[in-house]
Amino acid sequence: MNINKRTLGCLVLVLTVGAAFGQAAASKPPKQISVTIDGEPVTFEGAQPQVLMGRIMVPLRGVFEKIGAYVEYDAANHIIRAHVRNESVEIRMGNRVANKNGAEILMEVPASEIKGHTLVPVRFLAESLGAHVDFDQASNTVVITNGKYSIANTTKSGGGGRS
């Protein structure tokens, strides 16, 4: 194979620029994921929304409490329960099967613990309470339209334990 100096120089230049571009892209931090419910931003303390196992995961407490749910954690059994009006959702850590009003629902990925906070798939979380979920790629925002519960008509309730 006969490669002249000009061809070799171009090849080296392309590889160098490609490698530099790849490093710049790889070192760029991922854009923060935001969440809104009925146009209101959700604030998360500690763990933030993130992509795990190909799914957007959010801290459970931030979303549930934004719609007025009471959240409790059963540390002995590693179960999170959320109650709002006549609805209840129960999630066992590390298990893909959740319960809504006693009926089993299969989540895309199991609940995970990050920095002491429980993260669950946002689609499951919102849809388990009758809300609609969209993702605005331009702003990297999960948009939840609360179908059953209006934020303005609920009172925020606290709950001890995990989020």
Q: Indicate if the pLDDT at residue 56 is higher than 90.
A: yes
CA–CA gap between residue 64 and residue 70 (Å, rounded): 7
CA–CA gap between residue 113 and residue 28 (Å, rounded): 25
Q: Are residues 9 and 68 in the same domain?
A: no
CA–CA gap between residue 103 and residue 59 (Å, rounded): 22
Q: Are residues 1 and 61 in the same domain?
A: no
Q: 66 pLDDT band (50/70/90 cuts)?
A: confident
3-state secondary structure of 16: helix
Q: Are residues 133 and 84 in the same domain?
A: yes
Q: Indicate if the pLDDT at residue 28 is higher than 70.
A: no
Q: Indicate if the pLDDT at residue 36 is higher than 90.
A: yes
CA–CA gap between residue 124 and residue 77 (Å, rounded): 21
Q: Are residues 101 and 51 in the same domain?
A: yes
DSSP state of 150: -
The proportion of the chain whose per-residue pLDDT surpasses 70, expressed as a percent, equals: 71
Token representation of residue 55: 């799914």
**Is 158 a domain residue?**
no
Q: Are residues 3 and 66 in the same domain?
A: no
**Residue whose entry in the numeric block shows the structure tokens 């549930």:** 64
Side-chain-side CA neighbours of residue 163 (13 Å): 17
The angle subtended at Cα 50 by Cα 45 and Cα 52, nearest 5°, is 130
Phi, psi of 103 (to 5 degrees): -90, 140
Q: Could you list the residue range(s) of the whole structural domain that residue 17 is in?
A: 1-29
Tell me the average pLDDT of the chain.
Answer: 76
Q: 159 pLDDT band (50/70/90 cuts)?
A: very low
Token representation of residue 157: 């309730």
How many domains is the chain built from? 2
Q: What is the pLDDT of residues 106-149, one digit of tens each?
A: 998 999 888 788 898 988 887 777 788 899 999 999 999 876 55
CA–CA gap between residue 68 and residue 156 (Å, rounded): 4
Q: Are residues 16 and 63 in the same domain?
A: no
**Is 108 a domain residue?**
yes
CA–CA gap between residue 16 and residue 22 (Å, rounded): 10
Residue predicted with more confidence, 125 or 76: 76
